[in-house]
Chains A and B, each alone.
Chain A
Amino acid sequence: MGLEEYKGVAIFAQQVDGKLSSIALELLGKGKELAADLDTKEVTAVLIGSDIKGLADELAEYGADKVIVIDDPELKEYRTEPYAHALASAINEYKPEIMLVGATAIGRDLGPRVSARIHTGLTADCTSLDIGDFPLEPIPGKESEQKHKQLLMTRPAFGGNTIATIACPNHRPQMATVRPGVMQKAEPKKGAKAEIIEYNPGFKPDHKYVEILDIVKEVSNVADIMDAKILVSGGRGVGSPENFKLLDDLAEAIGGTVSCSRAVVDAGWKPKDMQVGQTGKTVRPQVYFAIGISGAIQHVAGMEESDIIVAINKDEDAPIFDVADYGVVGDLNKILPDLTAKIKEARAAKKN
């Protein structure tokens, strides 16, 4: 494999129902930063779907220099095979040195299939990406074997207990899936344009194409917890679905959004899209209220990057206190109503 033929950064611009997913813009933001440290400073978005060309301008505004548009009726709804064929073909044709994919349900299905097809490494669920040397330190006597300008991919493993940095020195592209909500979008530049490349590798349904019999969308009225500046998050300790009213009230008073732990979803009190944690969403709001949440390591993995963590729990040994900036041992039923009232009062006073 001629590694030097591979140049620049590419990102998979995930769209669903003709709307770009937030992760696509986050990957562009990170891709820009990485490209600045490479010889070829271009970021290319690979946009795959049906009737989606109109999204190219939005990708340009968020930093894409080029947009490869693969538009075909077979790509209307996500299916592994036509999407894998599209992305793998685009990689073989345009040869990026780095290929980033969101660690969404779609990306975590697509990424491994594509990496296996084109025979390269894939690092899952990255939370940090850098350009650097591999090995990190030269091996004495083998200094010349150290490779430069490599993608260093950092990810948690073992339920968040460990953190590993991984490289892919001898295969291209260097592929990573990136956890949503971790990378920052760039400030959009209104009116920016990208070079549009229309590409179609041809789609002939074969035995690997699955047939979609039915699609059921779960209608959600919940604001996306990943966009919230303040999250009021409840765990099993809240006691009942009705008791989440206390959290709703606090969230309304302080201008926040309600989220929850896995235990609450498992109990059927709240829908899955409100869940914070390793099997839910990764969040990093300015303030995270952990209310009646014990703080299992899987939960902490999804919220520990929050700027300020306030925990209320009646169990003084709850592990959540190990990560909380401000921990209060006490009864949430008694504290929350008064706290909500006090915040309302203060906000009203400010207005006057």
Chain B
Amino acid sequence: MKIVVCIKQVPDTKGGVKFKPDGTLDRAAMLTIMNPDDKAGLEAALRLKDSMGAEVTVITMGLPKADAVLREAFAMGADKGILVTDRVLGGADTWATSSTLAAAIKNLDYDLIITGRQAIDGDTAQVGPQISEHLDIPVISYAADIKIEGDYVIVKRQYDDRYHTLKVKMPCLLTALQELDEPRDMTPGGIFDAFDKEVTVWGRADLKELADENMGLAGSPTQIAKASDKVRKGAGEKVTPDSPQEAVQYIFGKLDEKHIV
């Protein structure tokens, strides 16, 4: 079985987030990690590899430095890594990103594609389902459990108040939740190998199925009008009462003042 896992190098959103003057993200200025949902998706793929044998290819689109996230995937156990990088692909929204990744995946053989549900920078949860549409294959979002039965995948999918158990014929695309599988650590041997392994680098010219009008900033239907750091409501009062009674008096007083009690 051949599994393709889409992973993304994302800024660690616990740190500072920076923008360039044109309102687009200044990714170069931020610390980066492998997106958590993608890492869970990679783990799910590696478990299938462990249990039934599979070739796991990780693919990412980004700046040349996104090579690091592929090396991390190698160290966890991925077999092949592809970096899609080209200046003309930059500034892509989810439409252009999914069109580009779909074009790259069309160069590969695959039975199963796994993406994370959403990346912690954009939080859109769109690229996975959009890739499946461009490839004309079924999608199951929010996979909580994955089993393979012959040519079919049986997926437990969670939404709102219910679980669906769904059966779908491969090839198909699944989006993984961070909760799906606890990612394994990189192994020392794996880390060692990770730097010997070759990353395949694809630029614009390697993406034969990608139309010019569907890529990069110009191929993005959505455009940023304005982006800024969020201005939070300032802190109100903070008190450290000497006794619980005083604390109760304080809270009760405030609630009473606002006619809530």
Interface residues of A (CB under 8 A from B): 16, 77-78, 80-81, 84, 104-106, 108-109, 111-113, 115-117, 119-125, 134-136, 152, 156-171, 207-218, 220, 230, 254, 273, 278, 286-287, 297, 300, 304, 308-310, 312, 316, 321-331, 334-335, 338-339, 342-343, 346-347
Interface 1/0 per residue, B21-65 and A, CB below 8 Å: 001000000000000000000000000000000000000000000
Cα–Cα distance between A125 and B126 once the two chains are bound (Å):
11
Interface residues of B (CB under 8 A from A): 11, 13-14, 17, 19, 23, 93-95, 98, 120-130, 132-134, 136-142, 154, 158-169, 220-230, 232-241, 244-245, 247-248, 250-252, 254-256, 258, 260-261
Contact call B232/A323, Cβ cutoff below 8 A: yes
Contact call A218/B161, Cβ cutoff below 8 A: yes
Contact call B122/A207, Cβ cutoff below 8 A: no
Given contacts A106-B159, A122-B94, A134-B225, contact A113 B130 (CB under 8 A): yes
How near does chain A come to B103, taking the closest CB pair, in angstroms? 13
Within 8 Å CB of A331, what residues of B? 244
Contact call B139/A211, Cβ cutoff below 8 A: no
Counting chain A CB atoms within 10 Å of each CB, the highest count among B94, B160, B224 belongs to B160
15 extra interchain contacts, Cβ-Cβ under 8 A, other than A105-B142, A163-B227, A342-B252? A105-B158, A109-B141, A113-B132, A116-B133, A162-B230, A207-B138, A212-B166, A213-B167, A254-B255, A273-B160, A286-B260, A312-B251, A323-B233, A326-B250, A334-B244
Within 8 Å CB of B261, what residues of A? 254, 343, 346-347
Closest 10 CB pairs of A and B: A121-B221, A105-B159, A121-B222, A116-B133, A325-B236, A334-B244, A159-B13, A112-B126, A327-B238, A124-B124
How near does chain B come to A332, taking the closest CB pair, in angstroms? 10
Contact call B154/A213, Cβ cutoff below 8 A: yes
Given contacts A116-B95, A170-B221, A208-B137, contact A105 B160 (CB under 8 A): yes
How near does chain A come to B226, taking the closest CB pair, in angstroms? 4
Within 8 Å CB of B11, what residues of A? 158
Contact call A168/B240, Cβ cutoff below 8 A: no
